[in-house]
Amino acid sequence: MSAVATGPAAGLPRWAVLALLPGLNLLAAFAVSGLVVVLIGENPWQVVRILVWGAFGFEEAIGYTLFYATNFIFTGLAVAVAFHCGLFNIGGEGQAYVGGLGVALVCLHLDFLPFALIVPAAVAGAALFGAAWAFVPAWLQARRGSHIVITTIMFNFIAASVMVYLLVNVMARPGSMEPETRGFAPHAYLPPMHEALGAVGIEIAASPLNLSFPWALLCAAGVWLFLWHTRAGYRLRAAGASPAAALYGGISPPRQVLVAMLVSGALAGFMSLNELMGVQHRLVLEFTAGYGFAGIAVALMGRGHPAGVVLASVLFGALYQGGAELAFEVPRITRDMVVVIQGLVILFAGALEFMFVPALRAALLRRVGG
Amino acid sequence: MAVPVLDSTLRLSVPLILAALAGLFSERSGIIDIGLEGKMLGAAFAAAATAALTGSPWAGLAAGVGVSVLLAMVHGYACITHRGNQVVSGLALNILASGLTAVLGVAWFAQGGRTPQLPGEARFLLLEWPGAAALRDMPGLGAVYGELLSGHNLLVYLAFLAVPAVGWVLYRTRFGLRLRAAGENPHSVDAAGVPVPGLRYRALVCTGVLCGVAGTYLSLAQSAGFINDMTAGKGYIALAALIFGKWRPVPAMLACLLFGLLDAVAIRLQGTDIPGVGEVPVQLVQALPYILTVVLLAGFIGRAVPPRALGVPYVKER
């Protein structure tokens, strides 16, 4: 690995590109968020204090922070895998939603299975349905050249319509007007971490954090192994870095598009495990609640690396949990403040990624004497 | 039956037409704009908030257009000046707008994210054409004149006038020629001595203005105030219509009318049986614009070819 970065940030030392630049971008996003708080007429320092306390200040809060982070890890990894193949998967929201359908079908119709079988079946269901929803845009991109950004956006809306139809007309609990299915059988619940760890003698505070969290960490490790330590991962990244060179090396770029999107869709689908089997215990409308879109922010913040995605997920999980406490303590600031911060992070860490490069170059390279 | 459906089709397709024309400017100049939704939402909020404070729809329109242009300029700063990813930037602005309108709405007006209900004089009201009331009950042309053509607000007529106007700007002016060239082959524009960034910034100003009018229409004409997330995906439908219309003004307008018709029909279909078919799921009709766009993009009905330089940041040759 070279010590100097290439691309738009060419010439800067590696540590500056990997740590300083994202740090500055995040700082800029937070600074503008602080301005919004001032505009509302509240004290930004007070807000930061409540946010940090609400996210990490007590044991239960940490559980909630990691619970939200679990959703972000899955959707963030989904976006990251597609990124490495040069694809922009905006469809995480729809893929997670349809993945939830797979989970619900397993939990509702295969509930004669014992816990040890129903969980892997649900994991498979989430992966299968999430991947299937990603397959159509992927195939259209690979074989018919339709722009995947547009098709995945369209598929988010189609997924929303399909799920409303199914939940209202087909899967709704008999005799109920609520657009939700009947509850899952108790042995189809994912045990919360405080119970799982309690069973081996470790006491932690009760929270919705459940077994999906270790599964998310496993997936992050799996994505890292897959992308950088398998041939399939190499092919995928080669096709993303340079389709022409990949083709010359005997790799079929359209095929890699399919592989990347199937993996991406499956990862997004896993998000529904955490929400449905961990907390809701039934299929409900719009349980994805924007996590799919937030995954884009997470992947950008984590610079597409699984370790970065996990770190960024904890950051966003903290914002969600801290934001909930904030809305409770300061009623004038609603939880939508987190959405504002999210948007600003995407803007500064994503679209304006290299805004500080000229300034950094001037500051760093002059001192080195370059 | 037919005239009321067409009447609501017109009203529902107006924001789509304005937003699709807005996207036309941006995309024909080479900048992907998935941020139509956010600009409309920001404009709808600014217009309603300003109209609530000043009592003037015109001040509201100015504020709506102002906010929308501002967001378009942020998009330009990221995509043109810093050559950032255009999809990421548009998405960021959408998320930012949906968060900001909700946060500021609650903090400023304390009505759960709504702006205060606007009185009639702070809105764009319906314009009655001469003799419309007398002709309305007459079948045929009378009903068409009395109900379909008359009785809309100013912005509706503005939207339909904007279609030929945009077509004229795009195909008959020097600015339009350069704009289209910037979207197809920016190097040729540069070679002719016209700076590409300036041209694209100007295209984004047009995008901002049209999105601003579209958003204002939602909160000051169609409704009497701002409601949380009131664009509800209209920006994306407009984007779909723009693609469906193959990035051309008149076909894009026709696509907007088609999608508006589907919306109008979906509202009326709710719970009615069609002989021989049974009940058509409303959700299917609602999803049709997206499905049709995907089918078109897949090349099964015609071919939608985007401007060649769309999404590619321009780097001047040295």
- The pLDDT of residue B1 is 56
Question: Does any domain span residue A74?
Answer: yes
- The pLDDT of residue A103 is 95
Q: Which of A12-16, A178-182, B170-174, B288-292 has the highest mean pLDDT?
A: B170-174
Q: Which residues of A touch B95 (CB under 8 A)?
A: 293, 297, 339, 342-343, 346
- The pLDDT of residue A99 is 96
Sign of the alpha-carbon torsion through B161, B167, B173, B178: positive
Q: Which residues of B touch A347 (CB under 8 A)?
A: 74, 78, 89, 92-93, 96
Q: Across the interface, do B82 and A351 touch by the CB < 8 Å criterion?
A: yes
Distance CA B311, CA B84 (A): 10
* Interface-testing mutation among A38, A79, A143, A158, with chain B (most B C-beta atoms within 10 A): A158
Residue A24 has which token pair? 């500055």
Question: Does any domain span residue A176?
Answer: yes
The Cβ-side half-sphere exposure at B209, using a 13 Å CA radius, reads 10
Type of residue at B42? G
Question: Looking at residue A99, which CATH number applies to its domain?
Answer: 1.10.3470
Partner A, chain B 114-153, Cβ-Cβ below 8 Å? none
Cβ neighbour number for residue B87 with a 10 Å cutoff: 23
Q: Which residues of B touch A10 (CB under 8 A)?
A: none
Residue B238 has which token pair? 């407009």
Cβ neighbours for A19, distance < 8 A, ≥ 6 positions apart = none
Residue A342 sits at the chain B interface (C-beta within 8 Å): yes
Query: Residue A258 pLDDT > 70, yes or no?
Result: yes
Instruction: Compute the average pLDDT of residues A1-20.
Output: 68
Question: Does any domain span residue A126?
Answer: yes
Query: Residue A275 pLDDT > 60, yes or no?
Result: yes
Residue A312 has which token pair? 């960024």
Query: Residue A3 pLDDT > 50, yes or no?
Result: no
Between A53 and A332, whose confidence is greater? A53
Residue B281 has its nearest CB partner, among A158, A165, A339, at A165
* Interface-testing mutation among B81, B262, B283, with chain A (most A C-beta atoms within 10 A): B283
CA distances from B141 to B148, B237, B257 (A): 10, 31, 20
A26-40, A115-129, A251-265, B140-154: segment of lowest average pLDDT: B140-154
The list of chain B residues with pLDDT below 70 reads 1, 271, 275-277, 301-303, 318
Distance CA A237, CA B230 (A): 40
What is the pLDDT confidence band of residue A159, given thresholds at 50, 70 and 90?
Answer: very high
A158-162, A251-255, B31-35, B294-298: segment of lowest average pLDDT: B294-298
Question: Does any domain span residue A18?
Answer: no
Closest approach of chain B CAs to the CA of A137, in angstroms? 9
Q: Across the interface, do A146 and B91 touch by the CB < 8 Å criterion?
A: no
Q: Across the interface, do B298 and A300 touch by the CB < 8 Å criterion?
A: no
Partner B, chain A 9-68, Cβ-Cβ below 8 Å? 36, 39-41
* Interface-testing mutation among A32, A161, A166, with chain B (most B C-beta atoms within 10 A): A161
A201-215, A269-283, B1-15: segment of lowest average pLDDT: B1-15
- The pLDDT of residue A260 is 96
- Whole-complex ipTM: 0.89
Distance CA A352, CA A90 (A): 19
Residue B88 has its nearest CB partner, among A157, A333, A346, at A346
**pLDDT tens string A93-116:** 999 999 999 999 999 999 899 989
Burial class (CB in 10 A: 0-12, 13-18, 19+), B291: middle
- The pLDDT of residue A157 is 93
Residue A144 has its nearest CB partner, among B94, B107, B298, at B298
Question: Does any domain span residue A264?
Answer: yes
Query: Residue A52 pLDDT > 70, yes or no?
Result: yes
Helix, coil or strand: residue A111: coil
Helix-then-strand count for chain A, H and E? 16, 0
Residue B34 sits at the chain A interface (C-beta within 8 Å): yes
Q: Are A128 and A90 in contact (CB under 8 A)?
A: no
Distance CA B64, CA B168 (A): 25
Instruction: Compute the average pLDDT of residues A149-168.
Output: 92
Closest approach of chain A CAs to the CA of B213, in angstroms? 23
Long-range contacts of A104-109 (CB under 8 A, 24+ apart): A104/A171, A104/A181, A104/A184, A104/A276, A104/A282, A104/A283, A105/A129, A106/A188, A107/A184, A107/A185, A107/A188, A107/A276, A107/A277, A108/A171, A108/A181, A108/A182, A108/A184
- The pLDDT of residue A370 is 44
Q: Are B40 and B222 in contact (CB under 8 A)?
A: no
* Interface-testing mutation among A40, A150, A163, with chain B (most B C-beta atoms within 10 A): A150
Instruction: Compute the average pLDDT of residues A141-158.
Output: 89
Backbone angles phi, psi at B279, to 5 degrees: -80, 125
Distance CA A104, CA A83 (A): 29
Residue B239 sits at the chain A interface (C-beta within 8 Å): yes
Residue B95 has its nearest CB partner, among A343, A353, A354, at A343
Q: Are B48 and B118 in contact (CB under 8 A)?
A: yes
Q: Are A209 and A64 in contact (CB under 8 A)?
A: yes
Residue B70 sits at the chain A interface (C-beta within 8 Å): no
Mean pLDDT of all residues in chain A?
90
- The pLDDT of residue A359 is 86
Query: Residue A369 pLDDT > 80, yes or no?
Result: no
**pLDDT tens string A55-80:** 999 889 999 999 999 999 999 999 99
What domain range is A325 assigned to? 41-358
Q: Are A301 and A312 in contact (CB under 8 A)?
A: yes
Cβ neighbours for A24, distance < 8 A, ≥ 6 positions apart = A356, A360
Phi-psi region of A53 (alpha: psi -120 to 50; beta: other; left: phi over 0): alpha
Question: Does any domain span residue A2?
Answer: no
In total, how many domains does chain A have? Answer: 1
**pLDDT tens string A184-193:** 989 889 999 9
Question: Does any domain span residue A223?
Answer: yes
Question: Does any domain span residue A287?
Answer: yes
Residue B231 sits at the chain A interface (C-beta within 8 Å): no
Helix, coil or strand: residue B153: strand
Distance CA B195, CA B183 (A): 13
Query: Residue A252 pLDDT > 80, yes or no?
Result: yes
In sequence order, the β-bridge partners of residue A69 are none
Q: Are B146 and B3 in contact (CB under 8 A)?
A: no
Distance CA A166, CA A159 (A): 10
Can you spell out the DSSP letters for A285-310? TTTTTTHHHHHHHHHHHTTT-HHHHH
Closest approach of chain A CAs to the CA of B134, in angstroms? 42
